[in-house]
Amino acid sequence: MAGPTGYSAVGGRTWRSHLGLWLSVFFLVSPAILVFLWMLSLSLKTEVDNTAYPPVFVPSPLTLANYIETFEKNRILLYFWNSILVTGGAVIVGLLVGVPAGYGIARSRAAKSAVVILIARMTPALSYLIPLFLLFQMLGLVGTITGLLITHLVITVPIIVWVMIGYFENVPRELEDAAFVDGATTWQGFALIALPLARPGVVVGAILAFIFSWNNFIFSVVLAGKNTRTLPSAVYNMLTFEQLSWGPLAAAALLVTLPVLLVTVIAQREIVAGLSSGGLKDG
Amino acid sequence: MPPASEVTAGRVALPSRAASRPPAHDFSRKYGWFILPALIVIAAVIVFPWLFTLWMSVHDWNVTGDHRFVAFDNYRRLVSDERFLESVARTFWFTALAVIIPIALGLWAALTFHRHFPWRGILRTVFVMPMMATPVAIALVWTMMFHPQLGVLNYLLSLAGIPPFAWVYSPDTVIPTLVMVEVWHWTPLVMLILLGGLAGLPTDPYESALIDGASRWQMFRYITWPLILPYVMIAVVIRTIDSLKVFDTIAVISQGGPGTASETLNYFLYLQAFQFYNIGYASAVVVVFFVIIIALSLLLLHLRQKTKWNA
């Protein structure tokens, strides 16, 4: 972030400060690298290498057998599709209701409605599950994709509303006021003026909602049936109910988290902007 | 895209959003229709569950749906339930560690990534990746790394001449170990919040401090720290809330064990509701849980108001 010259630029630039900087960076980044590389390594090694001591770091021979086994023994593609449906649906509905709400709250300065969002952010996701589970039993929604999609709105709607409030507040009100003078309706002011200007916010909100909805697994553990599980809860079930060896488990773990990691890498600028401004994550 | 500092400015000033124009009737007349759909969704999936939970918590409710009114029996039972009380104490212990350590490391990371150096963008992305990674998947990898005989962590320790560590296999070390996983996941979030704070700092104080010959530490202690304290408080509030609700990593890595050594409040709740099917009792746990979270958040937000510099 190219902010104003801060703490750094005024400090001395000696070799010692450079060394300190790079040691800091090394120490900070290496835990992340260790875990991700170890996951990759486990997923590409043979079972013999995975259970060897001392551990084998670089896979040799390199094998894709773990991935093949994961695909053959589990219905990964079905779970992947379920995740796409649930997360995709929850993000789309979240945008449809959340973006206008963010605009309405920002423009009317209805701080009280923002408080509801904050409290929703504080509540553990699990606590929504008990009443929704009972309700879904009555409505016949347990074990359906629709039911899961509805519960994921608990995650996506607050994130999107919260992000959009911030972005709409930064769209100058005067632009819309000028349009209103020319006879534009409130809706036109929103759709034709404010929304295009706040489009980066829509991207940020959608990305964050996607990531945290994708990562959620407890809703699916409790509510999904055998055929409607999302990817994270399917992997959780592999761990608890089937005795699998390390290689295929690591391969499955990597496949689950790969989509969000790719999104993170592609959209890192938007994510940094969105999160350094509010700091939220799922319920 | 608006610079992060601008977005942040609006966010930090949240309480003042209610101030001044436009008048209240403007709200319902002009903007009510924009908020209505979200209001309906929030009423259905968020407010309804809150109210229903409150109602269930005063009933004896089993999984078949039979229920009878028992007033505050569930709450009375909670007060004398050792397992519940221990889980509360354990949750506070976990939370204390899982707030302080990420704040300290996150501050260090923010000061580091605020400086300019080659490959900063890529390295920052790598650093941020843990908070985006699917917790279940990562917890699986940690589980394998913690393995007492074959795990890579004990091997790395042995390289440094340190004897094997019990990790999640001993009641004494399971909480610190789970805190470590939590720190790994969420230090990046603290870093991002503080980075937003650092980006908005004024330059003048540093220039005059430099002229006065202040040391780096003095500049941090007397300029940077007071100015980013509000952001630190935001991070503390968010970390506190998230640590109280920790669930994913515990469910995968230790399932509350060994014994009940890592059974936090949220995991206790999960067991009561979806393993033992004590629906009414679990609802009372939710209500108490909720009260704890709100009380702590209000306390921290109050402290944050006191530390506000741009009010």
Tens digits of per-residue pLDDT, A212-250? 999 998 899 888 888 899 999 988 888 765 556 888 889
Q: In this structure, what CATH number is given to the domain that contains residue B107? A: 1.10.3720.10
> Is pLDDT of A266 > 70?
yes
Q: A272, B65: Cβ pair inside 8 Å?
A: no
Tens digits of per-residue pLDDT, B175-201? 999 999 999 999 999 998 898 888 888
ipTM of the complex: 0.85
Domains defined along chain A, listed by start: 12-63 (no CATH), 69-275 (1.10.3720.10)
The predicted model gives B79-94 an average pLDDT of 93
Q: A124, B220: Cβ pair inside 8 Å?
A: no
Element (H, E) at A65: helix A65-73
Examine residue B44 and state whether it is found in any structural domain, yes or no.
no
Tens digits of per-residue pLDDT, B21-65? 455 445 556 788 888 888 888 888 888 888 988 888 888 877 676
Please count the structural domains in chain B. 1
Q: What is the pLDDT of residue A110?
A: 65
Examine residue B206 and state whether it is found in any structural domain, yes or no.
yes
Q: Is the pTM of this model over 0.80?
A: yes
Question: Of the given ranges (A96-100, A159-163, A256-260), which has the lowest mean pLDDT?
Answer: A159-163
Query: Least CB-CB distance to B112: which of A21, A271, A276?
Result: A21
Q: B241, A121: Cβ pair inside 8 Å?
A: yes
End-to-end distance of chain A based on CA atoms, in angstroms?
Answer: 28
Q: What is the pLDDT of residue A111?
A: 62
Nearest chain A CA: its distance from B128 CA (Å) = 8
Tens digits of per-residue pLDDT, A163-211? 888 888 888 888 888 888 888 888 888 989 899 988 888 998 999 899 9
Query: Least CB-CB distance to B195: which of A1, A108, A280?
Result: A1
Residues of A in contact with B17 (CB under 8 A): 109, 111, 114, 169
Interface membership of A208 toward B (CB under 8 Å): no
B231 is in which domain, residue-wise? Answer: 87-306
Average pLDDT score over chain B: 83
Examine residue B40 and state whether it is found in any structural domain, yes or no.
no
Q: What is the pLDDT of residue B311?
A: 32
B118 φ/ψ sector (left φ>0, alpha ψ -120 to 50, else beta): beta
Question: Of the given ranges (B10-14, B143-147, B261-265), which has the lowest mean pLDDT?
Answer: B10-14
Examine residue B231 and state whether it is found in any structural domain, yes or no.
yes
Nearest chain A CA: its distance from B150 CA (Å) = 6
Share of chain B above pLDDT 90, in %: 29
Question: Around Cβ B60, how many Cβ atoms within 10 Å?
Answer: 16
Interface membership of A48 toward B (CB under 8 Å): no
Residues of A in contact with B111 (CB under 8 A): 7
Examine residue B34 and state whether it is found in any structural domain, yes or no.
no
Residues of B in contact with A254 (CB under 8 A): 137
A11-20 in b/e burial notation, b at 16+ Cβ within 10 A?
Answer: beeeeeeeee
Task: Give the residue, A277 or B70, on which the prediction is more confident.
Answer: B70
Examine residue B60 and state whether it is found in any structural domain, yes or no.
no
> Is pLDDT of A92 > 90?
yes
Tens digits of per-residue pLDDT, B207-233? 888 888 888 888 889 889 988 888 898
- Give which of A207, A206, A171, A209 is closest to A190, Cα–Cα: A171
Tens digits of per-residue pLDDT, A5-45? 444 444 455 787 788 899 999 999 999 999 999 999 989 98
Tens digits of per-residue pLDDT, B254-288? 888 788 899 999 999 999 988 888 888 889 999 99
Q: Hey, of B1, B122, B157, which one would you mutate to test binding to chain A, going by the most A CBs within 10 A of its CB?
A: B1
Examine residue B58 and state whether it is found in any structural domain, yes or no.
no
The span from the CA of B119 to the CA of B232, in Å, is: 26
A225 Cβ contact list (under 8 Å, min separation 6):
A142, A143, A144
> Is pLDDT of B18 > 70?
no
> Is pLDDT of A253 > 60?
yes
Q: What is the pLDDT of residue B180?
A: 96
Examine residue B39 and state whether it is found in any structural domain, yes or no.
no
Residues 83-142 of A with CB under 8 A from B: 93, 96-98, 100-101, 103-105, 107-114, 116-117, 119-132, 134-135, 137
The span from the CA of B296 to the CA of B311, in Å, is: 22
Total count of residues recorded for chain B: 311
DSSP code per residue over B207-274: HHHHHTT--HHHHIIIIIHHHHHHHHHHHHHHHHHHHHT--HHHHHHTTT-STTTT--HHHHHHIIII
> Which amino acid appears at position A100 of this protein?
P
Q: Are B169 and A253 in contact (CB under 8 A)?
A: no
